[in-house]
A = this chain, B = another copy of it.
Amino acid sequence: MKFTKIKKQSLLPAYLIIALLLFSGKHAALFGQNNILVFQSDFGLKDGAVSAMKGVASGVSPDLKLYDVTHEIPAYNIWEASYRLVQTAPYWPAGTVFVSVVDPGVGTNRQSVVMKSRSGHFFVTPDNGTLTLVAEQLGIQEVREIDEAINRRKDSNESYTFHGRDVYAFTAARLAAKAISFEQVGKKLPAGVVSIPYQKATFENGQVKGGIPILDIQYGNVWTNIGKEVFNKLNIKIGEDVTVLVYNEKQKVYKGKVRYVNTFGDVKEGENVGYFNSLLNFSLGINMGSFSEKYKVQSGNEWSIVLTK
Contacts and interface: CB of A to CB of B under 8 A. Distances in A.
A145 interface: no
Contact of A265 (B55, B67, B88, B105): B105
B52 A88 contact: yes
Given A62-B93, A265-B105, A67 B54 contact: yes
A226 interface: no
A249 interface: no
Nearest to A35: B62
Interface string A199-229: 0000000000000001011110000000010
B160 A47 contact: no
Contacts of A49: 218, 278
A31 interface: no
A52 B42 CA distance: 18
The dominant DSSP class at the A interface is: loop
Which of A67, A71, A278: most chain B CB closer than 10 A?
Answer: A278
Nearest to A164: B278
Given A34-B62, A47-B70, 6 more contacts: A36-B58, A47-B87, A51-B69, A52-B91, A104-B265, A160-B275
A62 B62 contact: no
Given A48-B88, A91-B52, A93-B59, A262 B160 contact: yes
Contact of A55 (B93, B104, B263): B93
Interface residues of A, number: 70
Given A56-B91, A158-B280, A159-B276, A72 B46 contact: yes
Given A47-B218, A218-B75, A275 B59 contact: no
Given A58-B93, A88-B48, A108-B263, A159 B65 contact: no
Contacts of A161: 263-264, 275-278
A222 to B, nearest CB: 14
A42 B87 contact: no
Nearest to A84: B48
A106 B264 contact: yes
B62 A58 contact: no
Interface string A51-90: 1111110110110011111111001100000001001110
Contacts of A53: 91
A99 to B, nearest CB: 13
Nearest to A87: B48
Contact of A47 (B58, B104, B216): B216
Contacts of A59: 25, 91-93
A91 B155 CA distance: 12
A67 B65 CA distance: 11
18 contacts: A25-B61, A44-B218, A45-B70, A48-B87, A51-B91, A52-B87, A52-B278, A54-B67, A56-B91, A62-B93, A76-B288, A106-B263, A107-B266, A108-B263, A161-B264, A161-B277, A161-B278, A162-B278
